[in-house]
Amino acid sequence: MRSRLNMSLGYLAAGVLLCLGFPGLAGACWVSLPTVRVTPTFRVFVLHGSAPVSGIEVEVFDNADLERTLGKTEWKPILTLFTGPDGAVDVQKLRSGRYLIETKGPGKGSATYAEVSTGHGKASNRITLAWPFSSDGILKTRVLAGQLASNNPWIPFQDIHVELWTAGAKTPVSAENTGAEGHFHFEQTAPGIYILHVRGQQKGVGDTWQVDGDIPLELSPSAANVPEVLSRVQLRH
C-alpha cells in the first residue's frame, strides 16, 4: 500500500454533513468501480460537467500488479500522463487484461477499470473521468474565504494549513495557516473551480489520523443565492 494515504474529509455546510475526500484508489483496500471494455488503444477524457479539464494527471495501473503486491509495497503506475487542452490523454497498445485508470493530484477525481480485449464483441475507444471528485457536490461561494473547525469540540484544531489549487497547477496558487481559529481568506476573484487542500493539526491525534484532504469550491463572485463566505465548515476524519 501507499506509505501515507490522504484521509477522507467530511465537511458541514448549511447544516448538512457531507463526505469528502478521495484516497487514491490504488491505495484503497476495496472499492467498487465501474468497468469499461476497451480496445488496446483508447483515449481517457477528464471533464468537469461537459467541459474538458487540462493538466490533470492520469495514472494507469496493471491490476495484476496491484493484486500481486497487495499490502507489500507502494503501487507504481505503468503509465503517468497529463491531459491536454481537450482534456484527453492517449493510452496506446495495452496488452489484454484489467487496468485501473484514475486521476491524481488536488481535486482527485473519479476512477474506473478498463478491461482490454482483442477478441470479438463491442469495445469502446473512450473512457470518461470526472474532476474534481465530490460525492456530495461542490461548495459554491462568492469569496474564497471562510472558517474551518473540527466537528469534535473536545479535539479542536491547533492549526490548519490551507492551500488553494487550480486544475493542472504544479504548485498551489496560494497558501496560509489559519491558526486555532480556522479563518482563511484568499484574494483570487476569477470565477471557476478551486481546490482547498486542508491539513489539520490536532493535539493527541497521530500523524496518520490527522485531517488531510480536499474541498472543491466553485467561485462565483456575481452569483445570486450563493453564500458570500463559507461559514464554519466543520471537518471530520
Rounded CA-CA distance 138/193 in Å is 9
88 and 107, same structural domain?
Answer: yes
Q: What is the pLDDT along the chain (237 residues), one digit of tens a residue?
A: 332 223 334 443 332 233 333 334 444 444 578 999 999 999 999 999 999 999 999 999 999 888 777 666 677 899 999 999 999 999 999 999 999 999 998 888 789 999 998 777 789 999 999 999 877 678 889 999 988 888 888 888 899 999 999 998 999 999 999 999 999 999 999 999 999 999 998 888 888 888 888 899 999 988 776 766 676 566 665
Residues 175 and 94 in one domain: no
pLDDT of amino acid 6: 34
192-202 and 183-185 beta bridge pairing? unpaired
What is the separation, in whole angstroms, between the first and last Cα of the chain? 20
Output the pLDDT for position 235.
65
CA distance 129 to 85: 15
Tally of domains within the chain = 2
Q: What is the pLDDT of residues 198-209, one digit of tens each?
A: 999 888 888 888
CATH of the domain at 189: 2.60.40
141 and 90 housed in the same domain: no
Query: Does 82 map to a domain?
Result: yes
User: Is residue 4 included in any domain, yes or no?
Assistant: no
Domain of residue 67 covers: 25-130
Q: What is the pLDDT of residue 1?
A: 30
Asked if residue 43 and residue 100 are part of one domain, the reply reads yes
- Asked if 118 and 158 sit in the same domain, the reply is no
Q: Which of these three, 77, 106, 130, is where a domain ends? A: 130
Regarding whether 109 and 35 lie in a shared domain, the answer is: yes
Rounded CA-CA distance 58/12 in Å is: 30
Q: Which residue has the cell 463559507?
A: 230
Q: Same domain, yes or no, for 78 and 92? A: yes
Domain assignment of residue 1, yes or no: no
How far is the C-alpha of 140 from the C-alpha of 229, rounded, in Å?
A: 9
Q: What is the DSSP letter of 171?
A: S
- Residue 154 and residue 175 in one domain: yes
Q: Name the H helices within the chain.
A: 63-68
For residues 190 and 213, state if they share a domain.
yes
Grid cell locating 136: 456530495
Using CA atoms, how far apart are residues 83 and 61, in angstroms rounded to an integer?
17
pLDDT score for 30: 44
What tens digit of pLDDT does each residue of 52-89 get? 999 999 999 999 888 777 666 677 899 999 999 999 99
Whether 3 maps to a domain, the answer reads: no
